Amino acid sequence: MRLILVAVLLGVALATRVSYEGYKVLRFNPTGDQLKLLKHFSNSPGFDFWNEPRRYGGNLDIMVSPAQLPFFLTYLKQNSISFTVLNENVQTLIDAEIKHQEATPKAPRAISFDRYYRHSEINAYLEELAEKFRDLVTLESIGRSYEDRDMVVIKISSGGNGTRPVVLVDGGIHAREWIAPAMTLYIINQLVENSTANGALTDAVDWYILPVLNPDGYEFSHTNDRLWRKSRSRPASGSCYGADQNRNWDFHWMENGASNQRCSEIYAGSEPFSEVENRNLRDFAEAHKNRTKLYLTFHSYGNYLLYPWGYTSDLPSDWRTLQDLAERVDRAQVAAGGSPFDIGTSTNVLYAAAGGSDDYMKGVKGVALSYTAELTDTAYGFELPASYILPTVRQFFEGVRVFGTYVKDNF
Ligand code: ARG
Ligand code: ZN
């Protein structure tokens, strides 16, 4: 009986997984005019803009459904827009990933970065560290997600009684960007479990790290739809769930690059801070804002290191400091084997998008140094195979070291 139930549930779970069979990712290097034409498709069903730099000469990656493909290819031909095929069939990679996830042993065991961890495994790892490293680690629940998952911040502090400067880090605000939570976990792992090499980073600075800022979406991207981006909050009416948590912060909300359409991938929410996950982090940040000197939020992909503003093309008055530090971070990760990042304000390097967490932390909470890191620039996009996790996070950790050292030396 129980077996049958399990089989039925399993069947339902498999049957409800969204299929990306026949979906292709096309990469463009458009001229200004071509970009204008292509942008018309950005909110159409069957089109998903994976990466959308505004700077000409940058790559524009669009995933297209098999239903839209014939028409779209004709359109491209008619307008003489050339492209390369980045991915012939997105589902092929997803299938390989599911297999790998299932074949690789799960936690509990020593953390190894050879697979992507589920939210419960991530929280279990934090618990384990809190038990083992009692004088360095404490956990704080900052609240529950919409679907009632526990959002846990790990506080790494070697002393100072709450007087030291704070580095605040999060990942996973966008569900499908799996390398982002992995990056935060690696930072935690290195700061806590490899103190021989990294003790200097924690001897005068406190690190507060939230591995997954959108746990419901993150889990949904594991179980149902690999390319889910938004939160999972239910609308008052209609069938489109969730909001883009990086359009939902209360700073120039909805002014630019955000949508009031519930079904849009960049839906800003019904009002600023409609999303409880963002409210949870907002309240935590408020409690520590005077000590917080650096905010770092991880996304993927494209190798961008961005600083405010994202709501306007105007530069913040201290942009030179932000730019210089970003360049030093980049040099360190390049020296560790990474490929170079594009550096600048979100608006000028990528596109204008108001309501982002980076803008909010600087603009409202007064965190001087605020950055969005878009990790990796492979042809895999969001579908980064697990074998890339370790090299990616190792390389960028050398950049994180520069960030931490800067805070230690300057505050
Ligand atoms: N790819 C990120 C997003 O679309 C970039 C965010 C940059 N920050 C900003 N405030 N626009 O959310
Ligand atoms: Zn993102």
What's the mean pLDDT when you consider all of the chain? 94
DSSP state of 259: B
What's the residue count for the chain? 411
Across 109-113, 145-149, 165-169, 334-338, least confident range: 109-113
Residue whose C-alpha is closest to residue 246's, from 148, 361, 345? 361
Q: Is the pLDDT of residue 5 over 90?
A: no
* Residue 147 bears catalytic tag: no
Q: ipTM score of the complex?
A: 0.98
Q: Is the pLDDT of residue 14 over 60?
A: no
Q: What is the mean pLDDT of residues 142-152?
A: 98
Q: Is the pLDDT of residue 6 over 60?
A: no
Say which residue, 373 or 110, is predicted with more confidence: 373
Question: Which residue in the list 97, 265, 275, 374 is annotated as catalytic?
Answer: 374
Ligand 1 atom index nearest CA of 356? 10
How far does residue 172's CA lie from ligand 2's centre (Å)?
A: 8
Residue whose C-alpha is closest to residue 113's, from 190, 211, 186, 181? 186
pLDDT tens digits, 268-312: 999 999 999 999 999 999 999 999 999 999 999 999 999 999 999
Say which residue, 55 or 196, is predicted with more confidence: 196
Ligand that comes closest to the CA of residue 356: 1
The pLDDT value recorded for residue 244 is: 98
Give the rounded percent of residues in the chain with a pLDDT score beyond 70.
95
Q: Kindly list the protein residues whose Cβ atom lies closer than 6 A to any atom of ligand 1.
A: 246, 299, 306, 310, 346, 350, 353, 356, 358-359, 372
Contact criterion met (CB below 8 Å) for 121 and 149: no
Across 5-14, 193-202, 240-249, least confident range: 5-14
Residue 53 CA to residue 55 CA, distance in Å, equals 6
Q: What is the pTM of this model?
A: 0.95
Residue whose C-alpha is closest to residue 305's, from 328, 282, 278, 289? 328
How far does residue 180's CA lie from ligand 2's centre (Å)?
A: 9
Residue 115 CA to residue 125 CA, distance in Å, equals 14
How far does residue 176's CA lie from ligand 2's centre (Å)?
A: 8
Contact criterion met (CB below 8 Å) for 214 and 297: no
pLDDT tens digits, 89-102: 999 999 999 999 99
